[in-house]
Structure 1
């Protein structure tokens, strides 16, 4: 779809255009970080003009905030969907739900990157709020103990690191990488590898 088509197609609602840009921004920010990304790169990935992105979101910081708010909302939504069922299987279901977020390129690296921006006056409060909301959900809604919540959150951060480091290309050839991936995805390593970005991919 061309830039003009995206901007003029009467059947694409404003909410759909916004979602289109947020998906593209998630992929680009996830690959290049907040600091390393420009709104022009996001616009190019979304197939729209850079002025259109600015008109819709205002600044790069506000665009990034929208991206991380959407990412944390997705996490909570996936965890909510994983709650029904036997309690003893809840952690496994929630872990699988988190791994399933790999299907959207950049989602987990964006979360990881946001944790490094606590000192940013605009982004920091949003990132802290999102992180805290996940902790509260796991602790209060899922019913984990403090120790279980800590371990579950730590496992998620390890998965974020594995994705951000783009280790998937060394799976099966480097023993330590293979061990880490098998530990992170004990029941689905072959499936999730299909969604993990390789080192030579732009995003």
Structure 2
């Protein structure tokens, strides 16, 4: 008698593919990533990925939405029960949660690829809507002041650049890179850069 194979529910399979796509798009970028690479990373057939998502462009759009959803869920999960308006502790909590999330290079680089493709007629609107969702969440749910929103988003983009560029590695041998890290990042970010560089 042959053993029965366990079927994975469709929603779970979709999540599995989107997680694999996040890693693949993060590693290869939009241009070099393929539905075949995503399928191999997910351990399924390429025709199944195409049947479920259609084109590579649509797969990337769904991956970007998925990643933005993870970002928003991470922020919401870090919020305290009662959120006082303009509380800098809430800013710190969300910042630390963000740094932990983007230590996953697939998440970090998928977000960055999406934002860099802002002029693309299909991907650009999704990236802009996602960025505005983050803005609204910070303003309405985290109750950040306009100055806090500005600082948080600006610091987040700086963190993205430092992590994506591997500046943590450069800091070990370059005193200017080390000084840049010291003057622009918190202990949480320095720890993340250290882990990302290991």
TM-score, normalisation: structure 2: 0.85
Shift of 1:10: 2.4
1:124-146 Cα shifts (integer Å, max 9, x gaps): 11111000000111122111122
Q: Distance in 1 between matches of 2:128 and 2:189?
A: 30
Q: 1:50 to 1:173 in 2, by over 3 A?
A: same
Task: Specify the structure having the higher radius of gyration (Cα).
Answer: 2
Which position in structure 1 is the counterpart of 2:96? 96
Instruction: Kindly provide the CA deviation profile for residues 107-161 of structure 1, in whole angstroms up to 9, marking residues without a partner as x.
Output: 0111111111122121111111000000111122111122211111011111111
After TM superposition, list the pairs within 5 Å mapping 1:11-26 onto structure 2.
11-26=7-22
Distance 1:35 1:24 in 2: 16
Q: What SS does the aligned partner of 1:106 have?
A: helix
2 CA distance for matches of 1:160 and 1:191? 11
The answer on whether the counterparts of 1:112 and 1:161 sit within 8 Å (CA) in structure 2 is no
Task: Specify which of 75, 78, 84 is matched with residue 79 of structure 1.
Answer: 75
Segments of structure 2 that go 5 or more residues without pairing to the other structure are none
Name the structure 2 match of 1:175: 175
Aligned residues: 190
Between stretches 19-28 and 8-17, larger displacement belongs to 8-17
Deviations 1:175-197 (A, max 9, x none): 23334444334235335532x26
* CA 43–88 in structure 1, closer or farther in 2 if over 3 Å, else same: same
Distance 1:153 1:188, change over 3 A: closer
TM score, norm. by length of structure 1: 0.83
Structure 1 residue 57 and structure 2 residue 53: aligned? yes
Distance 1:48 1:153, change over 3 A: same
Counterpart in the other structure of 1:41: 37
CA deviations 1:63-100 (Å, max 9, x no partner) are 11111111111111111122206733111100001011
Q: Would the alpha carbon gap of residues 190 and 118 (structure 1) be closer, same or farther in structure 2, given more than 3 Å must change? A: closer
Deviations 1:33-53 (A, max 9, x none): 112211111112222221111
Q: CA RMSD in A?
A: 2.2
Range with bigger deviation, 146-155 or 99-108: 99-108
Deviates more, 1:127-136 or 1:94-103: 94-103
Task: Output the CA distance in 2 between the equivalents of 1:127 and 1:197.
Answer: 28
